Amino acid sequence: MILRREQFYIDSLEPEYNLLKIAGSSLGFIHSEESKAKMSEAKSGENHPMFRRTHTEESKASISLALININRTGENHLYYGKTHSAETKALMSLTRSGENNSMLAKTHSAKSKIKMSTAQGTTIFVYDSNGSLVDTFTSVRKTGKYFNYFPTTIKKYTKTGELFQDKWILSFTAKE
């Protein structure tokens, strides 16, 4: 009820000082670089919740199982099991609908989609155990989707150089 009232005043008064358009939602707000730095520093070193602590093997197994189950259900795993309330989903939808939709009456060409994927992604090179190039992917996410693994797992194997699935070498750089 309070949010509805706040939304009423945002819509009717259009205050200059309120940068947010939806009551109770920070969707669309962008923090300054200074704010980002302060928030990062506040959660680093001794202030970090996991400072000098590690997850137990049992915790790691539980987290892993939860992520695997989320992936198998086909849910959007970018949120790792977090869900938005119906009210929040409605507000998010409202901010992206109609005239607010930046892609209203537009579509990206196939060429543009490839360019965006290439620009935003990190190329992953897949080699067999003999070092021969087998495949290339334009992003960690696409590599994960192909192998049906989370992007974090793909990144781990790419960074460590360990043999992935006992037969693949994943790399950020092309081998000569």
Over residues 96-132, the pLDDT tens digits come to: 777 777 777 788 887 887 777 667 678 889 999 888 9
Whether 97 is in a domain gets the answer no
Whether 137 is in a domain gets the answer yes
Whether 13 is in a domain gets the answer no
**Percent of the chain predicted with pLDDT > 70:** 85
Whether 42 is in a domain gets the answer no
Whether 121 is in a domain gets the answer yes
* Those residues with Cβ within 8 angstroms of residue 121's Cβ, 6 or more apart along the chain or in another chain: 137, 138, 139, 140, 141, 142
Q: What is the pTM of this model?
A: 0.37
Whether 158 is in a domain gets the answer yes
Whether 117 is in a domain gets the answer yes
In total, how many domains does the chain have? 1
Range of the domain at 127: 112-171
Over residues 29-41, the pLDDT tens digits come to: 778 899 888 888 8
DSSP state of 122: -
